């Protein structure tokens, strides 16, 4: 029987007051292995349902709805949408889900066996924007992130790809008369993510729409995350000098010390092949796995994509980077 996620939320503090951040949980909260997942710019935590269910037997999996997306609150002050807020919210949720349980009382305390609690391993899986948040946290001093997986994003995000993604969000704030219309819209805007089964498309659609009082639907993200995008809204993050080519986070990437896996859609315009090659030579010298026939960004629902994630997370050891980087690993697309 398939496991269902547990839905949670908490109050996080932003520049203009508190706001609610939602998340889903899978697996045993006391597991020594925590996998933390963060979605792409206009997506939501439920994109990780298939992956999370596959990891839940071995791990505690937590998937966050970034502010303004999914079930998280839409911010009243639209200029608050920034990476500095997203980093703060992610750190607050990490602290929440890694906090020790309350000590036992009464007889339970008397008969409790004293044994050291194993240290939790925290692994991060981030798609697009979620990968950028993971990079920024992994680069910080004393970061708790043990292994990092970046799904189709790197330290240089080309301007043309950003402009293409912004233009793709046509009809922001529009309403849809039925879920079938929402699904038709998502099949167009998310076509590059790769094929899904009919059942998967229907589930993605259900998790990507909010029903209004009149029975119509809107997409599950605040249109202001697109219309009020801030430039340089990340406090304490070092930007590189390649700003003419795109958003340059090479200094951040080169500060990462944990083993890193990069998943790339072979046809992606957001993570270019040249950038992926450079990521094997610089910073943590990431391992690259490339999925043919897919653009930005793989859904992480196909068996070969989940297999690449599991192989990296559950490897007993991660070899030190070789003197010369290996070639990108290419994985053929299997029909859904």
Over residues 241-253, the pLDDT tens digits come to 565 567 889 999 9
Read off the pLDDT of residues 9-39 as tens digits, 9 standing for 90 and up: 999 999 999 999 999 999 999 999 999 999 9
Share of the chain above pLDDT 70, in %: 84
User: Is the predicted pLDDT of residue 100 greater than 90, yes or no?
Assistant: no
Specify the pLDDT at position 42.
94
Specify the pLDDT at position 317.
62
Read off the pLDDT of residues 296-326 as tens digits, 9 standing for 90 and up: 999 999 999 999 999 999 987 655 455 555 5
Specify the pLDDT at position 89.
98
183 contact partners, CB below 8 Å, separation of at least 6 = 201, 202, 205
Confidence of residue 170 (pLDDT cuts 50, 70, 90): low
CA distance 117 to 256: 27
CA distance 287 to 319: 11
Specify the pLDDT at position 294.
97
Least confident of 81-95, 130-144, 151-165, 212-226: 151-165
Specify the pLDDT at position 132.
96
CA distances from 146 to 47, 122, 178, 213, 235 (A): 23, 6, 43, 44, 23
Tell me if the pTM is above 0.95: no
Confidence of residue 233 (pLDDT cuts 50, 70, 90): very low
Strand 121-127, strand 287-291: pairing: unpaired
User: Is the predicted pLDDT of residue 232 greater than 50, yes or no?
Assistant: no
Of all residues in the chain, what percent are helix, strand and coil, respectively (each to 5)?
30, 20, 45
Say if residues 161 and 296 touch (Cβ distance below 8 Å).
yes
166 contact partners, CB below 8 Å, separation of at least 6 = 226, 229
Mean of all residue pLDDT scores within the chain: 88
Read off the pLDDT of residues 172-216 as tens digits, 9 standing for 90 and up: 788 999 999 999 999 999 999 999 999 999 999 999 999 999 999
User: Is the predicted pLDDT of residue 235 greater than 90, yes or no?
Assistant: no
97 contact partners, CB below 8 Å, separation of at least 6 = 25, 29, 34, 60, 62
State whether residue 101 is helix, strand or coil. coil
């Amino acid at each position: 029987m398939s496991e269902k996620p547990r839905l949670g939320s908490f109050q996080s503090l932003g520049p203009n007051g508190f706001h609610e951040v939602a998340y889903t949980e899978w697996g045993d909260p006391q597991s020594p292995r925590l996998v933390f997942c963060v979605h792409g710019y206009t997506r939501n935590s439920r994109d990780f349902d298939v992956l999370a269910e596959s990891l839940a037997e071995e791990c505690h999996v937590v998937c966050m709805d970034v502010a303004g997306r999914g079930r998280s609150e839409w911010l009243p002050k639209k200029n608050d949408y920034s990476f500095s807020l997203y980093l703060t919210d992610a750190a607050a949720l990490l602290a929440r889900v890694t906090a020790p349980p309350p000590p036992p009382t009464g007889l339970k305390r008397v008969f409790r066996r004293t044994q050291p609690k194993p240290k939790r391993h925290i692994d991060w899986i981030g798609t697009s924007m979620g990968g950028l948040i993971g990079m920024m946290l992994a680069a910080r001093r004393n970061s708790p992130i043990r292994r990092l997986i970046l799904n189709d994003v790197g330290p240089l995000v080309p301007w043309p790809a950003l402009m293409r993604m912004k233009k793709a969000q046509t009809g922001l704030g529009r309403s849809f008369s039925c879920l079938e219309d929402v699904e038709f819209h998502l099949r167009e805007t998310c076509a590059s993510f790769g094929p899904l089964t009919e059942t998967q498309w229907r589930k993605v659609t259900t998790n990507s729409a909010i029903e209004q009082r009149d029975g119509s639907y809107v997409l599950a993200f605040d249109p202001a995350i697109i219309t009020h995008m801030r430039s340089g809204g990340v406090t304490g993050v070092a930007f590189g000098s390649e700003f003419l080519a795109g958003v340059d986070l090479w200094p951040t990437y080169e500060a990462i010390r944990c083993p890193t896996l990069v998943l790339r859609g072979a046809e992606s315009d957001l993570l270019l092949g040249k950038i992926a090659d450079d990521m094997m030579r610089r910073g943590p010298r990431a391992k690259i796995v490339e999925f043919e026939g897919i653009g930005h960004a793989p859904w992480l629902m196909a068996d070969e994509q989940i297999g690449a994630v599991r192989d990296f997370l559950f490897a007993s050891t991660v070899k030190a980077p070789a003197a010369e980087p290996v070639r990108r690993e290419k994985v053929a697309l299997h029909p859904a």
